[in-house]
Amino acid sequence: METKISTGTAAMDWLLEGGYDKGVITTIYGPAGSGKSNLCLLCLANSVKGQKIIFVDTEANFSMTRFKQLCPDYKKALERILFLKPTNFREQKASVQKLKEFIKQDIGAIFVDSITSLYRAAMNDDDNRGLNNALSAQLHDLLEIARKKDIPVIMTAQVYADFEEKNSVKVVGGTIIRNMSKCLIELKSSGQNRIAVIKKHRSIEEGKSIMFRIIDEGIKEV
């Protein structure tokens, strides 16, 4: 039985030694423009060839133009994608609850792009314990689905500057995201290139990395 699904690109398949693990949450984080959504679309275009896929789009980031580039047979592919588009954190909570109904179908993967944008927008200077508890509950639900259906949950997350360590960033959602994700991939920008770094994985050494460039056909190792 396959334990991974392809990322849709040879470069990332090499980094992850075969692809995204089934049964767990993978979180890809990095600054705006670092390639988070591109990696989601690459995997989506590849995995939608078989089973249905769920795509939770919290940032209205799904680019039809880009998807057409990556998936020539996009019309048939779109018929197999179930889109959820929450616009606030309360709707995001409801969307995650809906997933429990959708997974009664033959679902191959779940994408959430991103898990933290609406959470971040809902934060204030007061007590955010309720928000943190709600985010944690959503991740527990996603992990339960991943385990029961033996499918990958692939999420993106935003970052903020780490004032204690110069030139470093922290993932929005902090320990909640880190504890619930079995795989963490940090994306960095370096001019026209991008760098993907393994920050957490159950079988791959932390620090393994690859440099790539985003091209029309997907990504290209450099």
pTM: 0.93
Do the domain assignments include residue 189?
yes
Do the domain assignments include residue 183?
yes
User: Cβ distance 81 to 71 under 8 Å?
Assistant: no
Domain extent for 195: 4-201
Do the domain assignments include residue 218?
no
Torsion of CA 68, 71, 72, 73, to 10 degrees: -110
Do the domain assignments include residue 122?
yes
Do the domain assignments include residue 193?
yes
Do the domain assignments include residue 87?
yes
Q: What's the confidence (pLDDT) of residue 99?
A: 92
Tokens of 26: 């993978």
Q: What's the confidence (pLDDT) of residue 2?
A: 77
User: Cβ distance 46 to 17 under 8 Å?
Assistant: no
Find the CATH number of the domain harbouring 180: 3.40.50.300
Q: What's the confidence (pLDDT) of residue 26?
A: 98
Q: What's the confidence (pLDDT) of residue 119?
A: 94
Do the domain assignments include residue 21?
yes
Q: Mean pLDDT of residues grouped by 10 in the chain (222 residues)?
A: 89 96 97 93 87 93 92 91 95 94 87 95 81 95 95 95 75 92 96 95 96 93 92
Q: What's the confidence (pLDDT) of residue 4?
A: 94
